[in-house]
Chains A and B, each alone.
Chain A
């Protein structure tokens, strides 16, 4: 399967910005996604970016894509305690039949 990697933990203070990073190996990725998972719940799609884009901004969320380095990041501005969750990056390949997920980054927001 494809290799999607993320750091496991990130801790920030409320009000600061959070940056969660992800690397992937398959250059034929078409869409890249960020999902949020709260305890005991399924995954919620936060945002996604098409592989020919460099950046996408959606309110407090900014997605940066460096296709050359196969690096994806999610920046959360003005991080709140309600943002504490596990964040997964995922990629879908050219045939859209499969989605591959990273191991998830647990974001802890301190008051």
Chain B
């Protein structure tokens, strides 16, 4: 099956610093990647949709200047948490949609997830 690699798995940083999280699709091209945030015992909250070669689309209430998303290639999207604060501590998960040409519609609509990044801001 399709593999999405997310790095790092966990990171601890000081308040005020920036942290970059990478999301890579290893064996398929992902024109669209999604970034989610998950609080303990809660569901995934969609933060933004990242489209290759264009600006990300942010969900309402998500600060685009704080959560910078770059999708420079068909296999890589990055999320940078700028000037992190303790309230930014959370589990961040990326996902990618496999949109292979010629694949069945059902295949195209599968969403594959990275293993997540636990961010702790001190």
Report A's interface with B, CB cutoff 8 A.
Answer: 1, 8, 30-31, 33, 35, 40-45, 48, 50, 88, 90, 92, 96-104
Contacts and interface: CB of A to CB of B under 8 A. Distances in A.
Contact of B110 (A30, A48, A50, A102): A48
Most chain-A CB neighbours within 10 Å: which of B32, B41, B111? B111
A35 B114 CA distance: 13
A48 B97 CA distance: 14
Nearest to B51: A97
Contacts, number: 59
Interface residues of B, number: 26
A101 B106 contact: no
B115 A41 contact: yes
Contacts of B112: 45
Given A97-B49, A101-B44, A103-B42, A42 B93 contact: yes
Nearest to B112: A45
Given A43-B93, A104-B43, A50 B106 contact: yes
Given A48-B109, A88-B43, 20 more contacts: A1-B46, A31-B109, A33-B111, A40-B118, A41-B116, A42-B4, A42-B114, A43-B93, A43-B95, A45-B1, A45-B113, A48-B106, A90-B111, A92-B109, A97-B32, A97-B49, A99-B111, A102-B43, A103-B43, A104-B42
